[in-house]
Structure 1
Amino acid sequence: MKIEEKIFDFLFNHQFMKILTVLTYYRPHTSGLTIYAERIAKAFVARGHEVTVLTSQFEKDLPLRETVDGVNIIRSPVLFRLNKGVIMPWIGLQATREVLRHDAILLHLPQFDAAGNFPAGAVA
């Protein structure tokens, strides 16, 4: 069995899990990655898992926390932007806290702040 098949089997056939998805942009931003992440998150929720998305508050009017279609969304405030990238000073602390609360982490790249999320995941 290929590694991708093993991961898929673990994630979709495992009993209840808390799954954390980390990516720079999530809905209502629209891109191939956000659509993909949203579909996976909804599929996990439909299978009875708890899903949290940690992302950027890329627009000031977006709430810092909300639940949409059963998916918990936590948005980290953006200090400033660099082209499509965003600087989120608190994402490392938020990621550490959330990684310790979850069983599985889906990290979607590219993300400028991603390097800060890896050590937290390795500890958990």
Structure 2
Amino acid sequence: MPHLVILYTPNLEAETDMTTLCRVLADGMLQVKDEAGRQVFPTGGTRVLAYPAAHYAVADGQGDYAFIYLNLRMGAGRSAAVQQLAGDTLLERARAHLAPLFERRLLGLTVQVDESPGQVYDGKHSTLHPHFNKP
């Protein structure tokens, strides 16, 4: 964790580079610092995944409307200020990437940050963390 999942209407695929958006957002997550100046999200645990909706309905259906939803799920224990900063960072970066689309089409963007409370099970196996945690 953290995981950022992007759900979007597939009518956006021809208009923006979703892979670039994923990288822009991941880089933003890696730059978020806590009150002590420490990196909040571990490099090896940061993931951004984007999925077009196979089926969707937006607004009244009378136009070629588009929507993109970003859901950041992070482990418990971060301050409200850090949670706010993470959300603001994602919103700012997504808006900048999508700015050309906002200028020419009707598009909704939502960023939601969720904290994972009281996990029942959190099994992991990764060679990524050791790679990035080398001295």
Q: Does TM, scored on the shorter chain, surpass 0.5?
A: no
Larger radius of gyration: 2
- TM-score, length of structure 1 as denominator length: 0.33
Higher relative CO (Cα under 8 Å, sequence separation at least 6) belongs to 2
